[in-house]
A = this chain, B = another copy of it.
Amino acid sequence: MNTHKITFQPQNRTVTVNDGENLIRAAMEAGVHINASCGGEGVCGKCRVIIENGAVDGGVSERLKPEDREKGYRLACRATVTGDVTVRIPVESVVDASVLSIPPTPRKTARIKAFDLEELKDKGLFIPPMEKVYVELPEPNAQDHLPDVTRLVSFLTLKNKEHRLGVEFPVIRKLPDILRRDRFRVTATLARPVREDGQSVIINVQPGDTTPEDYAVAVDIGTTTVYGQLIDLVSGAVLAEQADFNGQVSYGEDVISRIIFAEKGDGLNRMHEVVVATINGIIKKIVKRAGVDPDGISSITLAGNTTMTQLFLKVNPRYIRRSPYVPAASIYPAIKAVDLDLALPDHVTALVYPQVSSYVGGDIVAGVMGSGLYRTEELTLFMDIGTNAEVVVGNRDWLACAACSAGPAFEGGGIEFGMRAAKGAIEDFSIDPVTFEPMNLTIGNVRPKGICGSGLINIVAALFEAGVINNNGKYERNLATDRIRERDGIWEYVLVRQADTQIDRDLVLTEIDIENLIRAKGAIYSGCQTLLEEVGLRIQDLDRIYLAGGFGSFVDLERAMVIGLLPEMDADKITYIGNASLMGARMSAMTNRIRRDVVEVTRKMTNFELSETPSYMDHYVASLFLPHTDLELFPKLKARLDYRRSLTR
């Protein structure tokens, strides 16, 4: 893809962006503030810029006077980049020169770690738990009337050097007819044992050579969203993927409300049915889209948190939410998919990720396996941030984990204008350090209607660095802007005035919202601190952070460090691994070693119940500041704040 150089004046900052990038987003990327209220829809008309050199596409608007248009004025939010260009921010929207010298807080989203199929292949680990073997059996005759099963097993033992082969009963039911459909030429699917001294079992037979048709399904059962992938076990490729809301959402947003529902009457059956319906819907779509014969699917691997796992398996989750918080099981045996009501062929085996505790579940274990954390030498912190944040710390030698009850702030819960990351959510933000006017960018470049999780972090971080809120999370009362105001005794900052929103009132961020965010990030940060302390380490000792969860991909790492959600460290050492649960599920479909390793990993992962760890509360209270009571933990931020302070005094 073509890239272009965009230079912003008077800041004289240059940024390289892809062809077609929106100009106001390029400015945000460069750390250049342009007043912008309406999220990018072009209705507020505030983001006027002058194209000094080169050209852009669009940006011409009725909101611009004809003479201004002649002069090269454009609305930055409606202009897209088609070549190198120099853009001047007009004087009315530029802060005074001293402020211009403030270096922008670096913008950095995490490096994404993709699933590394080649590494699996290189290390000889690309050995799916189910393997297809094609054989041409001698046909029976008057001198040789071995039973059909004996014929197949003997041949595999002799020719394929199989040892102690078992046969599943449904295979026996179909074998006689299948054998005779293509003159005793068949493909057998063998389920490989977890332990080397175990027994391989024939779980399916198909007429002729079907070895190229070898598939698996990987599923992440999220509390909100379920993700599925159809995997080609010959190439390792993902043939199709699909996400859908977990059908249980309509019975409660979080795991606790789901458990409560499941405890009543037929609730558990219902919870099971609706999530199975969601999974079946996803399977149907990915099978259809990939155009494969479902009989070629041999396994489905599923990962979810402890509650999602138990509800899916129809295992009473009642004791998960009651002290002493006991899950039903850690390791689940292989289960026939049909016994779980999954719409898959009879022979398909369901492999479910094990749980560590009631609040560190199979999704986290899958993440530890999928991310390779359990194989690394580096001291690594794994964080899966959602309503419940789970953290794991360790390396290939040891692992410790804990669950932090963050609350739903990062998913928009408990925030007056909070919303999920959907069209109209403010996702990025900058503030003019002099006028305190905002620059709001929304998902979909439409007028704002709320604030999503990553937007919330960006807003609070920017307001804090600009000195608009102090380290207690309170607004400075004396700034020269009417955007900060008191309403019904609560202080707030007006992000967007009603006219520029999609809603019927001003879109604001209140001190209560900030307090909720601080509590959420404090729970997570102090959870990590406590966990590390329990194993005798400090945050500074970390070599690497893995960020998991849908949330992580959009979070600006530096901003997350500004508010004290992430510990301050070189952003290059932070890796976003996306949906780690799905990644782990996919990996299990491709390498049988995982199933042996995961038993060991689950056994050695020490779970800390934070509520029963005395130091946790002290760490938590100390974290209820921006970024923390102990600013020394954030030296780079401290330097920036000191510099700013030196300028404004």
Q: Which of B142, B169, B176, B326 contacts A335 (CB 8 A)?
A: B169
Q: Name which of A290-298, A317-325, A367-375, A429-437 contacts chain B.
A: A317-325
Q: Does A299 contact B (CB under 8 A)?
A: no
Q: Does A147 contact B (CB under 8 A)?
A: yes
Set of chain B residues within 8 Å of A103, measured between Cβ atoms:
none
Q: Does A68 contact B (CB under 8 A)?
A: no
Set of chain B residues within 8 Å of A277, measured between Cβ atoms:
none
Q: In the complex the two chains form, what is the Cα distance from A149 to B323 in whole Å?
A: 17
Mask, A107-118, CB within 8 Å of B = 1, is: 000000000000
Q: Name which of A308-316, A400-408, A409-417, A619-627 contacts chain B.
A: A308-316
Q: Does A540 contact B (CB under 8 A)?
A: no
Whether B173 lies near A315 (C-beta < 8 A) is yes
Q: Does A214 contact B (CB under 8 A)?
A: no
Whether A169 lies near B339 (C-beta < 8 A) is yes
Q: A176-B326, A197-B197 given. 15 additional CB < 8 A pairs?
A: A145-B324, A145-B326, A147-B330, A147-B357, A148-B319, A148-B329, A149-B328, A149-B330, A166-B333, A169-B335, A172-B328, A172-B329, A173-B316, A176-B316, A176-B318
A140, A319, A326, A612, most chain B CB atoms within 10 A = A326
Q: Which of B313, B324, B357 contacts A173 (CB 8 A)?
A: B313
Q: Residue of B at shortest CB range from A195?
A: B164
Q: In the complex the two chains form, what is the Cα distance from A315 to B197 in whole Å?
A: 31
Q: Does A177 contact B (CB under 8 A)?
A: yes
A residues neighboring B (CB under 8 Å): 140-150, 166-169, 172-173, 175-177, 180, 197, 313-316, 318-319, 323-333, 335, 339, 355, 357-358, 609, 612
Whether B172 lies near A609 (C-beta < 8 A) is no
Whether A150 lies near B609 (C-beta < 8 A) is no
Whether A145 lies near B358 (C-beta < 8 A) is yes
Whether A148 lies near B327 (C-beta < 8 A) is yes
Question: A59 CB to closest chain B CB, in angstroms?
Answer: 60
Q: In the complex the two chains form, what is the Cα distance from A142 to B607 in whole Å?
A: 13
Set of chain B residues within 8 Å of A335, measured between Cβ atoms:
169
Whether B327 lies near A147 (C-beta < 8 A) is yes
Question: A184 CB to closest chain B CB, in angstroms?
Answer: 11
Whether A326 lies near B357 (C-beta < 8 A) is no
Whether A142 lies near B314 (C-beta < 8 A) is no
7 example contacts (A-B, Cβ-Cβ < 8 A) are as follows A147-B329, A148-B329, A149-B330, A166-B333, A172-B328, A176-B319, A180-B319
Whether A147 lies near B328 (C-beta < 8 A) is yes
Q: Residue of B at shortest CB range from A146?
A: B326
Question: A638 CB to closest chain B CB, in angstroms?
Answer: 39
Q: Residue of B at shortest CB range from A320?
A: B176
A150, A169, A325, most chain B CB atoms within 10 A = A169
Set of chain B residues within 8 Å of A146, measured between Cβ atoms:
326
Set of chain B residues within 8 Å of A144, measured between Cβ atoms:
324
Q: Which of B147, B172, B177, B314 contacts A326 (CB 8 A)?
A: B147
Q: In the complex the two chains form, what is the Cα distance from A275 to B49 in whole Å?
A: 86
Question: A82 CB to closest chain B CB, in angstroms?
Answer: 59
Set of chain B residues within 8 Å of A330, measured between Cβ atoms:
147, 149-150
Set of chain B residues within 8 Å of A172, measured between Cβ atoms:
313, 315, 328-329, 332-333
Whether A333 lies near B169 (C-beta < 8 A) is yes
Q: Residue of B at shortest CB range from A169?
A: B335
Set of chain B residues within 8 Å of A357, measured between Cβ atoms:
145, 147
Q: In the complex the two chains form, what is the Cα distance from A173 to B315 in whole Å?
A: 5
Q: Residue of B at shortest CB range from A198?
A: B199
Given A176-B319, A318-B176, A339-B169, A148 and B333 touching (CB < 8 A)?
no
Q: In the complex the two chains form, what is the Cα distance from A612 to B339 in whole Å?
A: 46
Q: Which of B197, B314, B326, B609 contacts A148 (CB 8 A)?
A: B326
Set of chain B residues within 8 Å of A150, measured between Cβ atoms:
329-330
Whether B167 lies near A333 (C-beta < 8 A) is yes
Whether A173 lies near B140 (C-beta < 8 A) is no
Set of chain B residues within 8 Å of A148, measured between Cβ atoms:
319, 326-329
Question: A334 CB to closest chain B CB, in angstroms?
Answer: 9
Whether B324 lies near A169 (C-beta < 8 A) is no
Q: Residue of B at shortest CB range from A151?
A: B326
Q: Which of B142, B167, B313, B358 contacts A612 (CB 8 A)?
A: B142
Q: In the complex the two chains form, what is the Cα distance from A414 to B109 in whole Å?
A: 90
Set of chain B residues within 8 Å of A177, measured between Cβ atoms:
316, 318
Q: Residue of B at shortest CB range from A325?
A: B145
Q: In the complex the two chains form, what is the Cα distance from A173 to B145 in whole Å?
A: 44
Q: In the complex the two chains form, what is the Cα distance from A181 to B182 in whole Å?
A: 55
Q: In the complex the two chains form, what is the Cα distance from A202 to B357 in whole Å?
A: 22
Set of chain B residues within 8 Å of A197, measured between Cβ atoms:
197
Q: Which of B176, B325, B329 contacts A328 (CB 8 A)?
A: B176
Question: A330 CB to closest chain B CB, in angstroms?
Answer: 5
Q: Residue of B at shortest CB range from A612?
A: B142
Set of chain B residues within 8 Å of A609, measured between Cβ atoms:
142, 145
Whether A141 lies near B324 (C-beta < 8 A) is yes
Question: A190 CB to closest chain B CB, in angstroms?
Answer: 15
Q: In the complex the two chains form, what is the Cα distance from A507 to B169 in whole Å?
A: 51
Question: A372 CB to closest chain B CB, in angstroms?
Answer: 26
Question: A201 CB to closest chain B CB, in angstroms?
Answer: 9
Q: Residue of B at shortest CB range from A318?
A: B176
Q: In the complex the two chains form, what is the Cα distance from A223 to B315 in whole Å?
A: 42
Set of chain B residues within 8 Å of A319, measured between Cβ atoms:
148, 176, 180
Set of chain B residues within 8 Å of A324, measured between Cβ atoms:
140-142, 144-145
